[in-house]
Amino acid sequence: MIRSVVLLLALAACTPAARDDFTRAAARNAIRPVVAERLPGVNAEPAIDCVLDNASTDELLALASDSLTGPTATTVENVTAIASRPQTLNC
């Protein structure tokens, strides 16, 4: 909980562009192990980019928060839901 508050305070102090970059970078760190586990041996970066590009703001914030604690079952559910969307599959 405290880590989430620290993350939100850090985001509040940033410019909108910096906040977006910070959120996406943190979310990437939560997505990477999920993609690596689900797609072993595949270059994960393009798949991670597709997940990031098709996530909502709320999903990105949740994933960014997960980067502080490490992936959880909820992280896997969120990544799987985003990856299952037609826009993500066509990415």
Walk along the chain (91 residues) and give the pLDDT tens digit of each residue: 555 555 555 555 556 656 777 889 999 999 999 999 988 888 899 999 999 999 999 999 999 999 888 889 999 999 999 999 999 989 8
Contact partners, residue 28, CB within 8 Å, separation at least 6: 48, 52, 67
pTM: 0.76
